[in-house]
Amino acid sequence: MDSAIVVAGSANFARSGAVAGALSTFAFTVIHHILISNIWFSFPFMAFAGALCGACIGWSYSLLFTRPTLNSWLGYNAVYVAMLMLLGAVSALLFEPVVSMAALMQSNGPPSALIEQALPMTLLFTLVCAAGIGLLFGRSRLQFGAILLTTTTLVLLLGLNVSALGLVSIPQGSLYLVAEFLGLIVVLDVVYAALFIGLEWRSLSTT
């Protein structure tokens, strides 16, 4: 009976995470359209990616916290936001720029070559972060596996552009673009976390 309750709770959190992830992607796309550029053409893929990331976070959270609370939910989300911010910082520290911001913006596509160049660092970073988060929250192989899956999914679907930041020469006058880019990731997670709370309000203790 207890295992059945755990499975049902995990499924509910994964479902709510997927819904919140897709809806937060919509908010992200609206804000990106207003502040930066029109990316509605890629919304279907982004919504799928948002739902997948959201499902992974919700599912892994349910496995790691036997007593779900608002504080632990917000803290768990903050860890993954910090992970993506740290990925950008590590990229800036390790890499030398190989392309200008202007040339990158004129390419009208994902920086595939830069992402490929940064990939070894990205993979190692993902493993190290998964291990670190596992030390914070994990107590079993299943829990570590859930953390590794969640971390890998987030890096692959949200962090690859972040991983290439150090390979781009960014003039001081354009640093606001990087701030906007990273700020949108924060907004994406804040909206996601809030929507999840709305969907799972009865399941999250306030104490």
Residue 3 confidence class, pLDDT cut points 50, 70, 90: very low
Contacts of 91 (CB under 8 A, 6+ apart): 118, 121, 162, 163, 164, 165, 166, 167
Angle between helices 70-94 and 112-137 (to 10 degrees): 140
Arithmetic mean of pLDDT, 18-28:
96
Looking at residue 181, its pLDDT comes to 86
Q: Give the pLDDT confidence of 60-114 residue by residue, as tens digits.
A: 999 999 899 999 999 999 999 999 999 999 999 999 999 988 888 787 677 899 9
Q: Give the pLDDT confidence of 140-190 residue by residue, as tens digits.
A: 999 999 999 999 999 999 999 999 999 999 888 778 888 888 899 999 999
Closest to 135 (Cα-Cα) out of 73, 64, 193, 86: 64
Residues 86, 147, 201: CA angle, nearest 5 degrees: 95
Beta strand 168-169 pairing with 99-100: parallel
Closest to 196 (Cα-Cα) out of 44, 66, 30, 60: 60
Residue 7 confidence class, pLDDT cut points 50, 70, 90: low
User: Above 50 in pLDDT, residue 1?
Assistant: no
Looking at residue 6, its pLDDT comes to 46
Exposure b/e, 89-122, CB count within 10 A at least 16 = b: ebbeeebeeeeebeebeeeeeebeebbebbeebb
